[in-house]
Homo-oligomer: A and B are copies of this chain.
Amino acid sequence: MKEITLKQIAETLGISVTTVSKALKGYSDVNEKTRQSVLDLASSLQYTPNSFAVNLRTKESKTIGLVIPEVVHHFFSNVIKGIIEEAEKNGYLVIILQSNESLELEKKQIELLINKRVDGIIISLSNDANNEIYLQQIIDREIPFVQFDKISKLIPSSKVIINDQKAAYQAVKHLIDKGCKKIAHIRGPINPQNAIDRFLGYKKALEDHNITFDSSLVYPCKHVTFEEGKEFAARILADHKDVDGIFVITDMVAVGVLAHFNEHQIKVPEQIKIIGFSNWFMSQVITPKLSTVDQPSFEMGEQAFKLLLEEMHARKEFLPFTPRTIELDTSIIERESTF
């Protein structure tokens, strides 16, 4: 029960390995009859090329690497799904690694993928990422490279993003349209670009609607968890009893806020309106249902792979390639928490 090789097929057919290889790959310089006999024997033996040998010879593995902060996350698992599906359509497989929001690990995972010699890398940065010189080595080694969601603007790669600032602006405007006058913001950690952009969108929306910005109304998350949401909800009530709206960095935290308000009989949306971000599945099944910003996660994955494929093609054909950035649309989903 050995592996079938070209050599074995060649020997039983009394022809050369070269001809067998050519027959299987549809080269024109092989006689129709021999081609047929090779194909027949190959399929009856269930021949499949040894991918290790093919990789070595062709210098590509038809495999890409994906590094994300966390697999157990509705947004990221949707992105993963988008990437895997699009990759498979194009004959690529996906190796997934997690940074667990750790800079150390993120660097290590990238090196693992480089040593593995994947054909390309897709990444969403961890929150800790502040000094992304190690990303530069991906570019330097000319490995096709796409960033999505949490990106580094400094690294010249293709990117798939949403316009966080605009989306946040619309979310806060939604609260204002619904009558909110004093709006708090539970923001993300200091470093990630998207936390910064959402904060800027919040600020701009206030200014454009003649609400003076008050930095004491901004609460920065460290871990972006359900528990933090509960904590901040309590803090906000203690600090500002007249807050009537909260824009939260992401649904996970917003659900924590909601949980605290439910436990303490704070009426949502009557007393305080809440809007989250990301349209996490959970937000439509809690009480009250959470208004949020829909972020096209699956599509983000698809687009990220498509951009990577573009670059992989270009590199293979030695064509020039300039990175592209795709900005996907978001939309406000109005539910009970802002009625």
Is the Cβ of A98 less than 8 Å from the Cβ of B77? no
Q: Which of A32-40, A48-56, A161-169, A186-194 contacts B (4 or more CB under 8 A)?
A: A48-56
- Bound together, the chains give a CA A115 to CA B53 distance in angstroms of 12
Residue of B nearest to A48 (CB): B115
Could you tell me the distance between the alpha carbons of A259 and B289 in the complex, rounded to whole angstroms?
Answer: 10
Contact A53 B51 (CB under 8 A): no
Interface size on A, residues (CB 8 A): 45
Q: Is the CB of B94 within 8 A of A95?
A: yes
Question: Are A59 and B48 closer than 8 Å at their CB atoms?
Answer: no
Copy count, this protein chain: 2
Q: List 29 A-B contacts (CB under 8 A).
A: A48-B115, A50-B56, A51-B116, A52-B52, A53-B56, A55-B55, A56-B56, A63-B95, A71-B80, A71-B81, A71-B84, A72-B74, A72-B78, A72-B81, A77-B77, A80-B96, A84-B96, A84-B97, A85-B98, A93-B97, A93-B112, A94-B95, A96-B96, A226-B285, A256-B285, A262-B287, A282-B285, A286-B286, A287-B287
**Cβ contact within 8 Å between B71 and A93:** no
Query: Which 9 pairs across A and B sit closest by C-beta, in order of nearness?
Result: A52-B55, A52-B56, A72-B77, A48-B115, A282-B282, A287-B287, A71-B81, A93-B95, A77-B77
Residues of B within 8 A of A48 (CB): 114-115
Chain B residues near A286 (CB-CB < 8 A) = 282, 285-287
Chain B residues closer than 8 Å to A51, beta-carbon distance: 115-117
